Structure 1
Amino acid sequence: MDSGYSSVLILLAVWLISRCGAARKWEYEPVLILTTSSDDSLIKLESSIVRLGRGKFGISARVEWNYDTTEETMVEAVVYRSNSGDESDYKLLPWAIPKQTFYDYLNSYYKDVIMKNFAPCSNVPQFKGKFQPPWPKRTYIGDKCVFEAEGFPDIVPPGFYKIIFNCTGPDQPSWSFIGIFKIINKMF
């Protein structure tokens, strides 16, 4: 085998290996974002879907956080999927945030996913190591956030996904958000 042919084979092999790297194989379009609060004076949530260009969407949100969290503040989230988007077609998925304390959530899912995806577009608290209470009372703003899906699976079946997130606690407001996203396969 001549050295020119071997060089071409090596370059081809390197190119093929570099193209096989893991990367997100899907795109999303936000369909609906709903927020609720049992007491707007303690936590007021506002959100909207923002069109950023052809086929590109972001989410803007404003959260006025005016209460203290405790070891009894609990969060949980569930995810449903539908082929059609019809309400009766949604099926519960195993992807979830099991009911846990707010501080456990901050040291796991929040740190691994929320901080990474919201850091460039919001003023959500960032921390290294373990979160040290208290959670700051302030107004949090996310402006035209586009999720790069850091911390999400690389492959997700197409369809409609509904995420329901709840936060509760004794002598605290209950609040939640529901997000519906359409997932499509990425062509390239």
Structure 2
Amino acid sequence: MDSGYPSVLILLALLLISRCEAARKWDYEPISVSTTSSDESLIKLEANIVRIGRGQYGVSARVEWNYDVTERTMVDGVVYRSSTGDESDYKLIPWSIPKQSFYDYLNGFYKDMMMKNFASCSNMPQFKGKFQPPWPKNTYFGNKCMIDGDGLPDMVPPGFYKIIFNCTGPDQPSWSFVGIFKIINTMF
């Protein structure tokens, strides 16, 4: 009996296991982005879809942030899915950012997803540990940002997704972002 046979099987098993890592099994195409602000002197938002390469699109944005965030500043986000993209076909799905303080959002979703996906294409604040207020007044830029999926599910059903993000607070402007993205499943 060949004593090298078990060694070959072990090496093949290790090779197969190393190739079975979890990875994003979807790709996306931005369809539209829009923003609103109740007072553009305090926060002005602009966002648009930009072509990066053949069949590749990203989002560029500019945010002029000129107001102070407080413990009473609240954010929330909801996601709708449609298999056709028709406005009447969108249904609310359970992926959401429940209404919470801006600082809780920064220490949760922002840190887990936004910082990971947008650090390379924007000047958004980055931090380790817990965010230490205040949120800086600044002009923030995102240039040809593409989501690589860090912090998002590996598997996503194909279709159209509408993401609505809102921010409000007493004696503060209300503003929102709405993005529509088409999700396509990929095999590799």
Which residue in 1 is equivalent to 2:64? 64
Which residue in 2 is equivalent to 1:89? 89
AA aligned to 1:8 is V
The SS at the match of 1:165 is strand
* Alpha-carbon distance in structure 2 between the residues aligned to 1:126 and 1:172: 24
The SS at the match of 2:148 is coil
Mapping of residues 30-179 of structure 1, within 5 Å: 30-179=30-179
* Alpha-carbon distance in structure 2 between the residues aligned to 1:132 and 1:7: 53
Between the two proteins, the alignment pairs up a number of residues equal to 188
* Alpha-carbon distance in structure 2 between the residues aligned to 1:5 and 1:53: 48
Once the two structures are superposed, residues 143-186 of structure 1 have per-residue CA deviations (whole angstroms, 9 ceiling, x without a partner) of: 11111111000000000011000000011000000011100011
- Tell me how far 1:3 sits from its aligned partner: 3.0
List alignment gaps of at least 5 residues for structure 1. none
* Alpha-carbon distance in structure 1 between the residues aligned to 2:57 and 2:11: 38
- Tell me how far 1:12 sits from its aligned partner: 1.7
TM-score, normalized by length of structure 2? 0.97
* Alpha-carbon distance in structure 1 between the residues aligned to 2:159 and 2:153: 15
* Alpha-carbon distance in structure 2 between the residues aligned to 1:122 and 1:146: 11
Which residue in 2 is equivalent to 1:24? 24
* Alpha-carbon distance in structure 2 between the residues aligned to 1:146 and 1:78: 20
* Structure 1 stretches of 4+ moved >4 Å: none
- Tell me how far 1:62 sits from its aligned partner: 0.3
- Tell me how far 1:69 sits from its aligned partner: 0.6
- Tell me how far 1:7 sits from its aligned partner: 3.1
- Tell me how far 1:4 sits from its aligned partner: 3.6
Once the two structures are superposed, residues 57-107 of structure 1 have per-residue CA deviations (whole angstroms, 9 ceiling, x without a partner) of: 111100000001111100000000000000111110111000000011011
- Tell me how far 1:11 sits from its aligned partner: 2.3
List alignment gaps of at least 5 residues for structure 2. none
* Alpha-carbon distance in structure 2 between the residues aligned to 1:136 and 1:143: 20
Which residue in 2 is equivalent to 1:7? 7
* Alpha-carbon distance in structure 2 between the residues aligned to 1:165 and 1:98: 10
Q: Percent identity over the alignment?
A: 77
The SS at the match of 2:18 is helix
AA aligned to 1:16 is L
Which 10-residue stretch deviates more, 11-20 or 34-43?
11-20
* Alpha-carbon distance in structure 1 between the residues aligned to 2:67 and 2:152: 30
The SS at the match of 2:61 is strand
- Tell me how far 1:2 sits from its aligned partner: 1.4
Q: CA-atom RMSD, angstroms?
A: 1.0
